[in-house]
Structure 1
């Protein structure tokens, strides 16, 4: 189905709509959780379990969406307020499932 040509230049509303379990989701989740570091494609492959040959293509698509950035061989989460919020939400949801409430007095 064709779209209006004006939509090509607009930022997609679903830029952060990453489906859980997909390769882009896994990379963004990992980089957001480790936002103080940058990684090579090989390191991302090792950390996420994504096939080595697929990591570069995923990173390129994420970069086009403004979700990751790179310098030379190293990739990191983009500097974007939306991603900080995304990382905080991910951290809150994962900590709520791993908090140990037993033994509290």
Structure 2
């Protein structure tokens, strides 16, 4: 989807360019929600529903960008400062979606 040239010119260079609902987004959201833990690829597959064969490739691409880290068989959210704002944005988006679905109280 194209964006306006103004948005292009004014957009922050350090923002994460990860579209909501994509496999990278789902993995990052899961890991951000459990930032005090590390998971195997199988556990990430089971928690996110992403095809088991795709999880490894997505994690590798996210690691190349510094967004996740791993040690041995375990993967965790990265320590990139952009991830804190991403996690907050995802939480706000999720809360907004739930408000739309259930209505505001």
TM-score range, shorter chain: 0.7 to 0.9
> Could you tell me which residue of structure 2 aligns to residue 89 of structure 1?
89
Alignment partners' CA distance in 2, 1:75 and 1:30: 11
The residue that corresponds to 2:64 in the other structure is 64
Q: 1:93, CA displacement in angstroms? A: 2.5
Query: Displaced runs of 4+ in structure 1, greater than 3 A?
Result: 96-101
Kindly report the root-mean-square deviation, in angstroms, between the aligned alpha carbons of the 2 structures. Answer: 1.9
Q: Rg: which structure is higher?
A: 1
Q: Distance in 2 between matches of 1:56 and 1:97?
A: 29
Aligned pairs (5 A) from 1:1-105: 13=13, 16-98=16-98, 101-102=104-105
Shift in Å, 1:77: 0.6
Q: 1:22 to 1:43 in 2, by over 3 A?
A: same
Q: Check conservation: 1:33, 1:91, Cα contact below 8 A.
A: no
Distance in 2, matches of 1:17 and 1:91, equals: 17
- Structure 2 residue runs of 5 or longer lacking an equivalent are 1-12
Q: How many residues align?
A: 90
CA shift for structure 1 position 90: 1.3
> Cα distance, 1:95 vs. partner?
2.6
- The TM-score normalised by the length of structure 1 is 0.75
Calculate the TM-score normalised by the size of structure 2: 0.75
